[in-house]
Amino acid sequence: MSYYLIFAMIASEIKNRRLDKWIHKCYVMDIQKKGGNQMGKMGRPTENPAKNQFRVRLTDGELEKLNECTQYYQLSKSDVIRKGIDKLYEGIKK
């Protein structure tokens, strides 16, 4: 289906709907035509993707310690926690 034909099919709807809805519909139809997904891959490619998520509850004191570590080491909260896991795991392997 060509873009001209898609435009002709939708042209009558432009009069009755707001332009942004029409543009969104054209975008969605274009994505579907290509057989793709609206959401593209996000982030940098990596050989070891972190696809697992874990949720934890912290006390106010634990959260304050975590925030201090992130500021001191200039790391994200996730990186601080990963390094803590690695350090504890090294103790097991010794």
The model's pLDDT over 50-74, given as tens digits with 9 standing for 90+, comes to 888 889 999 999 999 999 999 999 9
Any domain includes 80 = yes
Q: Extract the tokens encoding 33.
A: 């035509």
Separation between Cα atoms, residue 11 and residue 5, nearest integer Å: 10
38 falls within a domain? no
Tokens of 41: 């891959």
Average pLDDT over residues 63-92: 94
pTM of the prediction? 0.51
Share of the chain above pLDDT 90, in %: 40
- Residue 53 is predicted with a pLDDT of 87
Provide the domain count of the chain: 2
Domain housing 21: 3-33
The owner of tokens 């080491």 is 73
Quickly state the pLDDT bin for 44 (edges 50, 70, 90).
confident
Query: What SS3 class is residue 41?
Result: coil
